[in-house]
Structures are given as structure tokens and as C-alpha cells.
Structure 1
Amino acid sequence: MGHAPSTALPRVRVERELSLRAVLTGIALGILLTPSNVYAGLRIGWSFNMSIIALLVGFAVWQSLPGRSKGRPVWTLHESNINQTVASAAASIVSGGLVAPIPAYTLLTGHQLDPLPMMAWVFSVSFLGIWIAWYLRPTLLDDHGLKFPEGMATLETLQQIYQQGHEAMMRIKVLCSAALLSGLVKWIDGFVWAIPRWAPTPVLERLTFTLDPSLMLVGFGGIIGIRVGLTLLLGAALAWGGLAPWLIEHALVVLAPNASGPQFAALVEWLLWPGVSLMVCATLTSLSVRLLQMPRQRPTELRQHKGERARMRFSLTPAAGLLLSMVLVVALQALLFGIDWWMALLSIPLAVCLAVVAARVVGATGIAPIGAIGKLSQLSFGLVAPGQVAINLMSANTAGGAAGQSTDLMNDFKVGQAIGATPHRQLIAQCIGIFIGSVVAVLVYRMLIPDPQAQLLTAQWPAPAVATWKAVAQTLTQGLGALSPALRWAIVAGSAAGMLLGALDSLLPHRAARWLPSTAALGLAFILPASISMMMGLGALLTWLVGCRWPSVTERFAITAAAGLIAGESITGVGASFWEMVRAL
């Protein structure tokens, strides 16, 4: 997925691009797909890029309508690009803090934002990231060392559906079939008959080793690959099969007498510390090494694009947009969280710097280091304003959210550059997308989690990203001295293991590094119930086995089928929550 497409798309004349139907299609798909990322983010801490799904569905809907003229497609190439830009921007709104720092802030302070202020905050953080990406565009897109693999994957899908339309229709059938199957299983489990969570023994059930009938988790396993899937299984065995029984035996975690069923909430309060330490140190170490290895842009390349950057620098509209986004972010930090305006101002240069880092890493590797960016910003504000939870979480949220939207738009700009799209129209589409995403995502979050204090960090809603932000904020505000000696040793051990694995992953040749466990998955397995890690590992293993036997089928349909399984269950789960809320009225 990291290679450039073999056949470049022709630079066709732009007949239709930012059309009303393209925008409305993107809005409709964004409304459908955004709940999936909110649901998945609260369940497993990961989200899914929706660009390819939006491309396939939009193409299938419009190309199935009559109206071809002189062999030209009804739904143009550039309309497809606008459609996926709007939809993916809406779905990526979760990077604005909705499934991480915002719930962590509620858990630590007891203060829950009302829906409208929450929408304004998520939108403002993402809006800042969009304008940062606009100013980064000329330099990063013309840096030949940055391939933007995720954008290239979207471009490759565009190639296939406009050169082989029947392939797109086949993928849509697979996507819809998988979504219907996954949604049906979720509906049966929620409304018809509660599917049993089988466990071999009561002891293993207490340690969360149960079979979770979730096809969404199987779908995520199909996307993450065999290395990450096996690492999740290894991490579950270490954390829940090895460390958890030892904690109970030595009374470091005391369970209720005669406790039955999974004891996730009691055990994760201890296990999350070594898991978070491992993830944070591994990602920061790996990010540092990758930045040191990244080739610098040559002076000739800088001179080559000096004119374009100069024209953008003096353009009034982008400057006004950037200024407005800064004012919004600073004002909302002061109004909503009581942060001093001068401290809120410090979040702006930090957000710009870290968004640049994130965009370059995404361009080089295809991996968005949003978790590492968030932790870097938390550490920075922990030094500047020690002991202040609001600043540590919400000012840091500015950097993480801006970086998330900046990287999403940079991938879209890369696609647009290849097909001759108009950049400012893509920017408008991105703004529309984050507005829709902010409204939909906040409403879905409030519907799913009306009581964060009682619902989050439980077996139903593990919310590992929330646990990570909360743990780092607690450590930076209270200090390690507030933790027990055993927990401090666990943090040291997790940090050391993370630094070692992160350095090896970046320094070793790719052939050797792929045999290392995935540090993100290893740390995540300490925070997720073992049942979730098992089902995701199962999905990865099944996909790998099918790929060994039928590689062409897997290459064509594995990601599409997995996306259908994710969308089907998550949309059904959100719909079920909405139905329960209506019944309670």
C-alpha cells in the first residue's frame, strides 16, 4: 500500500468538482460513517479511515443511475474526490478529542460539557488543523521523500473504479453483505437473544478470557494484519493470563468476595499503568528516531517552490482562516475550561510544530502518530503548568486534534495533486466535513455515554485512549509519589520495554523489524479486556490464512469485507442505543 500507483490517472478537465450533489453525498456518507469511528474509538481506541468506503459507495450509487453522455461517467472523478474528502473529514473528527481527552477530563474533574460547547470545541481544534495543512501543502507535497501511502491507497482505489467499474460494484456487494451479517449478529445479541460469552473456566472468565460474539472486532483484526493481531494475543496472555493472577495472588488487586464474571474494572486500574508507559515511551522513542532519520529538503527544492509559498503567504483568505481558528481555540479554552488566555496561546505554536511533525511522519510512513503527539503535548504542558488538569488535557488536545485533521487533509491534497483537483475546493469540502462530523459525533457520543463516570473504563466500554490520557494527566499532576511502589516499578519496567522496542522498530531493517511485536498493540492489550484482543487476533489470523490460500481474493476483498463488518455492527449498536433512549422518554 506504500507504493505509488502503477498507472497515473489522466489529468482530465475539471467539469464538475465542488458540486451540490458531491457535497450532499459526502455529508450523507459522513453522517452514516462517523458513528462507526465514535463507537470503535470507545470500544477499542482505534478508528478507521473512511475515504475508500466513501469512494466505493458514492461511485456505486451514482453510476447505477441512468444518464451517461458520450461515454462520460455520470459521477465524475473530481466529484468522487470531493465526496470522499467530506466523508473522511467527518469521520476523522474523533481525533479532535471526543474519544480521548474530553472523556478523560470528565472522569478527572466530574465536569461534562453540554452538547453545543462540545461541538464548538471539537470543531475549533479540527479547524485549526485544516489551515495548518493548507500552509504545509506546497512544501510537503513536492518533497519526493514523502509518499503519503494512505493517500496513494485512496488514489489507487480511484484508479480501479474509473478504469474497472465492475470491480467497484463487486466490492460494494461484499461491503453490504458483510455489513448486513455483522448488523444482524449485533441485533440478535442485543434484542432477540443474548449470545453467551463462553469461557472455559470461571477463573478465566474472571480474567476476561471470554468469547465476545463481535464481528466488528473480527473486522478490525482483518485490517490490522497478522503482526499486530498476534501481538494482541501475546499481550493478553502476558497481562491478563500472567500478570493479573499474580496481582490477585499477592493482594495488589483485591476483588470482591465471591466475585463472578469478568473483573475488568478492578484489574485494569492496575494494568493500564505498565501498558500506557510501554505505549507512550515506545511511540515517543520511535518518533524521535524516525525524525532524526528523515531526509531534509534540499536547498534547490526549497528554491523551486519559493514562488508558490510566497503567493500563499500573502493570500488574505488563508491568513484570515488561520487567524480565526486561533482565536476560536484560545477563546474556547478560556471560556469552557477556565484556562488563562496566555496559557491557551501557548497551545498554538505547539499545535503548529507538532502538526508539522505528524504530517511529515504520515507522509513518510503512512502512520499517523496522533497518540504520540498527544502525549508530547501533555508532557510539554505538564512542565509549563504542573498540577493543572484542564491545561494538561485540553491545551494538549489542541495539538493532537490539529495534527489529526492536518494529516487527513494532507492525504486528500496528495490525491488531489495527482488528479488535478482544485486545492481550495478540497479545503472547503474538508471544512464542511468537520462541521457535520462535529455535530454528528457529539450527538452519538452523548447518546452512547450519557454517564461517563459510570460507563467508561468498563468491560463494555474499555475506552483505552481515555485511560491513556487520564493516566498521563494523573501522573503529571499528582507525581509518581502518589502511586504505590509496585505501580512505580511497573511504570519503570513498561517504559524501559517501550523504549527498547521503539528504538529497535525504527533502527532495524524492515525484514528484521517485522518480527518484533507491535508496541502499540502490546500496550493496548494491557488496557483492553482479553476477550477483545482475542477476537481481533482471531480476525487477523483468519485473514492471514485466507491470504495464504487465496492471495488475490484477499487483496481484492479483505479490507472491504472488514470495513463492512465494522460499519454493520457499529451502526446497529448506535441505532440500538438511540432506540433505548427513545423508549426511555
Structure 2
Amino acid sequence: MFQQEKIGHGEAAVSHRRTGPVIERELSLRATLTGMLLGVLLTPSNVYAGLKIGWSFNMAIIALLIGFSFWQGMARRLWNGPEWTLHESNINQTVASAAASIISGGLVAPIPAYTLLTGNQLDPLPMMAWVFSVSFLGIWIAWYLRPSLINDSGLTFPEGMATLETLTHVYSHGAESARRLSVLFGAGLFSASVKAADTFIAAFPRWAPNAHWERLTFTFDPSLLLFGFGGIIGLRVGLSLLIGAALAWGGIAPWLLARHLVTLPADAAGPQFSLLVNWLLWPGVSLMACATLSSLSLRLLRQTKGNGASGNAGRAFRLPRPQPAPAIGLLLSIALVVTLQATLFGIDVVMALLTIPLALCLAAVAARVVGATGIPPIGAIGQLSQLSFGVVAPGQVAINLMSANTAGGAAGQCTDLMNDFKVGMLIGATPAKQVVAQCLGIAVGSIVGVLVYRALIPDPQAMLLSEQWPAPAAATWKAVAQTLALGLDSLSADIRLAILAGGIAGVLFGLLESALPSTRARLLPSPAALGLAFILPASVSLMMALGAIVTWLCGLRWPGLTERYAVTLAAGLVAGESMTGIGASIWQLARGGA
């Protein structure tokens, strides 16, 4: 029933394609090239945003709108080419979203954390190979999970259904997609212009109430990217960031200074983010990790009981009929991951082989959670795998980070493809062709993502965990690895107490969030956002909260317009500033080098 309701208003666009002997174009040259080009354009935005705020944006809907508007609109008017089919649109978004989701392969978390802790920076080609390999493994895990999870009536895959709704809607209301695309490009151009003016003409003032609050990072950040992300994340997460910033930077940080637990230079002026975050990240990471792990455990327990009661428990073990190509793909991905762990990071082959069953299990867990909630628990998967390797190989940073990266990267790509499989099943797409599209996407994303990361962060140890590049995901992985390697005894007593307090609060929030009905759970602060606010400058959290509040107010005043255009406009603000910011960073680095 849920699936039928989601498809309903676009049924006319789909039904005629399911009748008769007509076979649609699907994995066409133009569909794959369009997806690859959009992947090149959209991947940098996620790398930039991941290093800034630790979050990324699903680019599937943006790719759908751009591909449809070009091929079904402009191209047909110019040379009256063939119809851009529903299945070509699906291939286009599969390639583009796979490329943009490449940051789950480690680019903004374990890879920079590895450099921060060891001082070793991978060269571009080995880094591309590594990011591709863990993502490639996730694709084949998704292939073998597909028959069980996609057909499980208890897993609705909300993110995939949102993509399907947009896909069918643009074929029923072509003019609406053109208007949404105009909003996207208009917002992107405006955001890019503001960022260019701030960077190249005259820097906008970073206003603060006084010098004291400026040192605590309470400044005005004129970033439309942050404002746009606020519109995407919603009011609950936005207010949670606001509460977290007030608690961490407005409450704990002044207390740290008063007790001389953190000492600032006598002549300190401007935001003192780097010094304060070295203390604040510990309770923040503890809160996030414990909340996500406890929530994940309770959700899985409930799903297991529910599946057992409904007779679906056995589906998790039903594999597709043996086929040589997928088996070769899985074996090749395993060989690639194990070989690269040994050659790039000096990890023992036996230990590297142990990462494979853990990646299989945790990717399956992530896929089930995404199917039920739409939220990929990549952070929790990464921390859980870090804890696992902390027990198996204590004190070994490379194993803790890069072996855990295997599980996190595979889970990220697996969940992305599972959403695409859900869409494909409902429109009659060919799963094997979707796999090919996903492989093309991660190939493009690996190249572009690594080049952008290396261009933005040529010196991770000097540039990361700063006000310009907070890199909260990298800070989280670094903190967990450091604690597991050196032990809690290596930390001061005040930090150990902060970790304990954050962990207790995280467990309580995580359990309440999963145990309460959704209507009541929405009234709780988001524990992930609360913890994240400890690792981000207060200025970042304030701007994102402002975007969330303004979007909510617009929804009260103009509900129809907000529902149709808010996310599209916000995505344009994110893309415009991130692309300009990347160009500005590269230009400044080039000038410095010259």
C-alpha cells in the first residue's frame, strides 16, 4: 500500500512503459555520460561540505532534475532527439549519486584521521585506489542483500521512495521540474556570487558581541552553504545544534578557561577554536558514538523480533541464484581491499582478511537501518568497527582506522545502491545495469573526490581541526583511534569525566529516541546534532540553526511553496558556495605556492 501511494501521482508516466513489448533505453551512452558529468560537478560539493560540517547531501534528486530538464527539454527543442526515458533518468541518478557518495569511502573521516595520527599522507593514485576498493566491495554486498531486503515489506527505504516520487513526478509534471531547476540554478548563482564577493572583493564582517564571545567562536558567519544545510536538516536538528553550541561554547568553554583547564595565549585575539576543540571534542564524540550505537542496537533488536513474528526472519539468508559475474566481482573486491590494506598501510594479511566478514555484517546492518528509517548509520558503523579492531588489535592505529574504513566505506556504498535497487524494482529496471552504473559512479567519484580533497587540504596536519576546516568526522575517528591506542589513562582526569558524562547522556538519548513513539521522539534534541555542535565552531551551528528556523517559518506561512521548493533552493545554496569555495581555495593555494 505504501509503495502504491508513493507511485500514485506518477502512475501515468510509468504504466505505459510496463505494457506491451516495448523495451526502453536504459544503460545508454548518453545516460551514463550525463551521470558521470553530473558526478564530476556534484562530488566536490560533498567533499567540501564534509570537511566543513561533517555532513553530505544526497545528489540523486538534483541529478534527476538536471538530466530530465536538459534531455527532455533543451535537447529536444534544439535537435528533436529521442525521448529521455524513465530508465535513462534512473541510470543517470544512479551514476551521479554513487559518485557524490564517495566520501563514505573515507575521504573526510578515516583518511585524514590516519594522516593526523601518523603523519603519513597517501599519494593521489593510491588514495583513489583505496577509496574505490572499499566502495566496490559495498556494491557486491548490496547485490547479495538485494533479494532479501528489497522484497521485505517491513523495509520501505524512505530515501529511495523520495527519489522515486521525484522521478515519476517530473514525467507527469514537466513544467514543475523546469521551475524547480530554475530555483536550483538561481540559488546556486546567488550563493556563488556571495562567496566570490566575500573571497575576492572584500571579506564580509564577522560580527561578534565582544572580544570574549569572539574568542569562544560566537561570530556571524555569512555562509549561505550553512544556511542552506540548515534548511535541509530541519527544525529539530537545527535547534539541537543551537542548544549544543550554547552548552559547549557558551557554557563549558568559559568554565574551562576559568578553571585553567584550557589556557589561551595572553595576546589571544579572534576565535580560539583549535585550542578549545581539543578538549570539547571528547564529550562530543562520546555523546554521538554512544547515542548512535545504543539507538542502532535497540532498532536492530526490534527489527529482529518483528521479522521473527512476521515470518520474514529467514529472508536475510536467502541469496540470489549463483551467477559467475557477481561472484567474480565480490572476490575481486575482496582481493583488492586486502591487497591495498597490506601494501598501503602495512596491515598483516590475516588481519586484513578479518575485515571482510565484519564489513559484510555491518553493511547488512546499515542496509536494514536505511530500509527502515532512511538514515544511513555510517558514523555508528565506523565507530563500531573501530571498537571491534581496538579489541582484536589494541594499540595499532593503522588497523583501527583503515580496517574500520573498510566496513564504513562498504556500508556507505551498499546503502546508496540499496535505495537505487528499490527504485529500480518499482519501475522495472535491470539490477545488473544498475550495478554497472554504480561502478561507473564510484570510479568517477574516486578520481574527482581525491583530487578535490588533495587540492583543498594539501597539509592535513596544519589545516584540519581548524576554524576554516573543522572536519568533525575526522576529529571523531581520530579521537576514538587515539583513545583505543593509548588507553583512557593517557587522558587527563577532567577529560575522562567528560567522556563518561557524554557517554551516559548519549546512551540515554539513543535509547529514548528509539524507544519512544516517533511523535514523541521528535520532541527530543537530536543527540547526533548535540554532539556535533561540540566539534563545530559556534558560528557554524548558529548559521545552520538560522537556516532551519527560517525554513520552518516559511513552511508555516507558505506551506505549499516550501514543500515544493525549499530543499531545491537549499541544495542550490550548498552547491553554489561549495563550488566557489573550492575554486577560491585552489586559487589561494596556487598564489601561495607561486
Fold shared, TM-score > 0.5 on shorter chain:
yes
How many Å apart are 1:580 and its aligned residue? 3.1
Q: Which residue matches 2:182?
A: 173
Q: Return the offset for 1:314.
A: 1.5
Please tell me the residue identity of whatever aligns with 2:510: G
State the 1:509 CA deviation.
1.1
Equivalent position amino acid for 1:479 in 2: G
> Is 2:512 aligned against 1:511?
no
Provide the rounded CA distance (Å) in 2 between the counterparts of 1:568 and 1:296: 44
CA distance in 2, matches of 1:510, 1:77: 34
1:20 aligned residue: 29
Per-residue CA deviations over 1:536-582 (Å, capped at 9, x if unaligned) read: 00000000000001000110000000000000000111112233344
Q: Is the 8 A contact 1:25 1:58 kept in 2?
A: yes
State how far apart, in whole Å, the 2-side matches of 1:362 and 1:303 are: 19
Separation in structure 2 between the aligned mates of residue 149 and residue 305 of structure 1, nearest angstrom: 20
C-alpha displacement of 1:15: 1.8
In structure 2, how many angstroms separate the alpha carbons of the residues matched to 1:388 and 1:21? 47
Deviation per residue, 1:322-356 (Å, 9 max, x gap)? 00000000000000000000000000000000000
Partner residue in 1 for 2:165: 156
Change (3 A) 1:489 1:433: same
Residue identity over aligned pairs, in percent, reads 70
1:193 maps to which residue?
A: 202
Q: 1:14, 1:78 within 8 Å by CA — same for their partners in 2? A: no
Secondary structure of 1:368's aligned partner: coil
Q: Secondary structure at the match of 1:64?
A: helix
The aligned runs of 1:370-409 (5 Å cut-off) are 370-409=378-417
Pick aligned residue for 2:307 from 296, 304, 316: 296
Are 1:147 and 2:148 an aligned pair? no
Question: Alignment partner of 1:5: what SS?
Answer: helix
Q: CA deviation at 1:186?
A: 0.5
Change (3 A) 1:105 1:304: closer
**TM superposition score normalised by structure 1:** 0.97
Letter paired with 2:133: S
Task: State the shift of 1:243 in Å.
Answer: 0.3
C-alpha distance in 2 between matches for 1:74 and 1:571: 31
Q: Give distance in 1, aligned partners of 2:124 and 2:314.
A: 47
State how far apart, in whole Å, the 2-side matches of 1:401 and 1:522 are. 25
Match of 1:424 among 432, 446, 449: 432
The 1-side partners of 2:202 and 2:75 are apart by 43
C-alpha distance in 1 between matches for 2:526 and 2:482 = 26
The equivalent residue for 1:255 is 264
Identify if the C-alpha distance between structure 1 residues 278 and 413 changes in structure 2 by more than 3 Å, giving closer, same or farther.
Answer: same
CA distance in 2, matches of 1:98, 1:517: 29
Q: Which amino acid aligns with 1:119?
A: M
Q: CA deviation at 1:510?
A: 1.3
CA contact (8 A) 2:207 2:220 kept: yes
Between 243-252 and 570-579, the greater mean CA deviation after superposition:
570-579
Kindly state the Cα deviation for residue 106 of structure 1 after the two structures are TM-superposed: 0.2
Distance 1:551-1:341 versus aligned 2 partners, 3 A rule: same
Match of 2:375 among 355, 364, 367: 367
Report the Cα distance in structure 2 between the residues aligned to 1:110 and 1:138, rounded to whole angstroms.
Answer: 43
Q: Which residue of 2 aligns with 1:334?
A: 342
The answer to whether the 8 A contact 2:145-2:316 is kept is no
Tell me the amino acid that sits aligned with residue 208 of structure 1.
T
Rounded Cα–Cα distance in structure 2 between residues aligned with 1:89 and 1:577: 25
Partner of 2:582: 574
* 2:148–2:315 Cα contact (<8 Å) kept: no
Letter in 2 for 1:412: D
- Give 1:114-133 correspondences, 5 Å limit: 114-133=123-142
Tell me the SS of whatever aligns to 2:74.
Answer: coil
Q: Which amino acid aligns with 2:221?
A: D
Contact 1:143 1:297 in 2 (8 A): no
2:418 alignment partner in structure 1 = 410
Q: Which residue of 1 aligns with 2:502?
A: 494
Match of 1:112 among 117, 121, 136: 121
Alpha-carbon distance in 1 for matches of 2:324, 2:60: 30
Matches of 1:240 and 1:300, distance apart in 2: 50
Tell me how far apart the structure 2 counterparts of residues 341 and 191 of structure 1 sit (CA, whole Å): 50
Q: Paired residue for 2:529?
A: 521
- Separation in 2, partners of 1:124, 1:416: 24
Q: Deviations over 1:438-472 (max 9, x none)?
A: 00000000000000000000000000000000000
Deviates more, 1:294-303 or 1:395-404: 294-303
Cα offsets for 1:234-253 (capped at 9, x unmatched): 00000000000000000000
Partner of 1:560: 568
Unaligned runs of 5+ in 1: none
Contact 2:27 2:88 in 1 (8 A): yes
Compared CA separation, residues 329 and 500, structure 1 to 2 (3 A): same
Q: Which residues of structure 2 form unaligned runs of 5+?
A: none
Compared CA separation, residues 304 and 45, structure 1 to 2 (3 A)? closer
One-letter amino acid matched to 2:271: P
SS at match of 2:434: helix
TM-score (norm 2): 0.95
Match of 2:221 in 1: 212
Letter paired with 2:281? L
Q: Report if aligned partners of 2:307, 2:313 keep a CA contact under 8 Å in 1.
A: no
Secondary structure at the counterpart of residue 274 of structure 2: helix
- Is 1:281 the counterpart of 2:285 in the alignment? no
CA displacement at 1:258 relative to structure 2:
2.1
| CA drift at 1:196 | 1.1
The match for 1:324 among 315, 326, 332 is 332
What does the per-residue CA deviation read over 1:207-255, in whole Å, with 9 as the maximum and x for residues that have no partner? Answer: 0000001000000000000000001000000000000000000000000
The answer to whether residue 231 in structure 2 is matched with residue 222 in structure 1 is yes
- Check conservation: 2:382, 2:405, Cα contact below 8 A: yes
Q: Give 1:5's aligned residue.
A: 6
* Rounded Cα–Cα distance in structure 2 between residues aligned with 1:582 and 1:228: 37
Label 1:305 to 1:422 Cα distance change in 2 as closer, same or farther (>3 A). Answer: farther
**Take 1:162 and 1:196, find their aligned partners in 2: how far apart are those partners?**
45
Counterpart residue number, 2:486: 478
**Could you tell me how far apart the structure 2 residues matched to 1:548 and 1:133 are?**
40
Shift of 1:74: 2.0
1:364 aligned partner, one-letter code: A
Q: Does 1:270 align with 2:253?
A: no
Q: Residue 48 of structure 1 aligns with which residue? A: 57
Counterpart of 1:51 in structure 2: which amino acid?
Answer: A
In the TM superposition, residue 304 of structure 1 has moved relative to its aligned partner by: 9.0
Distance across 2 between alignment mates of 1:511 and 1:325: 42
2:111 equivalent to 1:102: yes
Rounded to whole Å, the distance in 2 between the matches of 1:55 and 1:116 is 30
- Quote the Cα distance in structure 2 between the aligned partners of 1:577 and 1:291: 43
Kept after mapping to 1: 8 A contact 2:75/2:81 = no
Structure-2 change in CA distance of 1:513 and 1:102 (3 Å): same
1:156 and 1:72 map into 2 onto residues whose CA distance is 26
CA shift, 1:157, in A, is 0.2
**Alignment deviations for residues 20-55 of structure 1 (CA, whole Å, 9 cap, x no partner):** 000000011000000000000000000000000000
Distance (Å, rounded) in 2 between the aligned partners of 1:302 and 1:260: 60
Q: CA RMSD in A?
A: 1.8
Q: C-alpha displacement at 1:303, in angstroms?
A: 8.2
Pairwise CA distance, 1:528: 0.2
* 8 Å contact kept, 1:14–1:421: no
Q: 1:252-308: CA deviations, max 9, x gaps?
A: 0000112110000000000000000000000000000000111226786688999xx
Distance 1:300 1:479, change over 3 A: closer
- Quick check: 2:149–2:315 contact (8 Å CA) kept in 1? no
Classify the secondary structure of the residue corresponding to 2:535.
Answer: coil
Following TM superposition, by how much is the alpha carbon of 1:192 offset from its aligned partner in structure 2, in angstroms?
0.7
The answer to whether the Cα contact below 8 Å between 1:374 and 1:399 also exists between their aligned partners in 2 is: yes
